[in-house]
Copies of this chain bind each other. A is one copy, B any other.
């Protein structure tokens, strides 16, 4: 039995003011997402006049499905993430809607630090998680590779990387149906003993960690294993290294291919990450997201809701612990 049986119309909260080019890009992205998914219900969090612009652009029969939380403040890229604990900011209000069961997921393209702060403040953490992780799936040559953390957790302890392994392995199973995920620790050589102090201790912690059934720790992997795949389905690292690597790969694809390759469609990295370790579905889009990226983020949030990700994550982390808080949210 899985939460995915609880399908239904998803209500997705969207932060209208998050992102470098908000609200215009978010407006376009929300409209694209609504166009692509006739079952999508939106909870628009932001200025009423921006929400009205979206509603006016929707087909008349869709308009009644949209709710609005009128919020005017935003946490800017240069603001302290702590500003995101204020309930009058869009990102915090979007998270509050998830916590209250009014939305099955929230999507923001605002500063990722603010999104993490808002999520932890508004939702708390899942059992055993001290630091949440931002997680993406990359299109590697040999199947998808789940990479985490890509920016939430800096200056980590080795035990926190072991928790990321649990989160990532569960995500790979739930989202990608990888029933026996191989978990690798990102380092600078495949041989044991390579890496900095954090990696050397974390390798011991990961070897000793209780991973979800079927998952196993397979040792060090390197930067190219994230793009080529083959050695690990889940790659664990700290948020600094993961963020630098993800952006470097993104730039490499842009440089290598312009907008297309000789051998096929362009390769790109996802511009929406899932925040793992909080009891609620939270999607953080790239700050420089374009409308397509926002629409992709909303589609991803809908998938998370339908699959009941955060509930299944809580169960995997600590089976006898508290019941899932958010997975059973109904729109």
Contact = CB atoms under 8 A, between A and B. Distances in A.
Interface of A: 77-78, 139-141, 151, 154-155, 186-189, 191, 195-197, 199, 222-228, 237-241, 243-258, 260-263, 266-267
Given A240-B195, A256-B257, A262-B262, A248 B245 contact: yes
14 contacts: A77-B191, A141-B254, A187-B240, A188-B243, A224-B247, A225-B251, A226-B251, A227-B248, A228-B251, A228-B255, A244-B244, A248-B248, A253-B256, A262-B262
A223 B245 contact: yes
Interface centre among A141, A189, A243, A248 (most CB of B within 10 A): A248
A239 to B, nearest CB: 7
Given A248-B248, A257-B261, A155 B223 contact: no
Contacts of A196: 154-155, 238, 240
Contacts of A241: 240-241, 244
Nearest to A264: B258
Contact of A262 (B195, B226, B228, B257): B257
Contact of A250 (B223, B237, B246): B223
Given A196-B240, A254-B227, A247 B222 contact: yes
Which 9 A-B residue pairs are closest in the complex by CB-CB distance?
A223-B247, A224-B251, A227-B251, A223-B248, A252-B252, A154-B196, A256-B256, A188-B243, A223-B244
Given A228-B255, A244-B245, A256-B266, 7 more contacts: A196-B238, A223-B249, A244-B244, A248-B252, A252-B267, A253-B256, A256-B267
Contact of A261 (B244, B247, B258): B258
A241 B262 CA distance: 31
A285 to B, nearest CB: 15
A186 to B, nearest CB: 6
Contacts of A191: 77-78
Contacts of A263: 257-258
Contact of A254 (B139, B224, B257): B224
Contact of A267 (B188, B222, B255): B255
A263 B140 CA distance: 22
B244 A186 contact: yes
Q: Which of A77, A155, A245, A254 has the most CB of B within 10 A?
A: A245
Contacts of A267: 252, 255-256
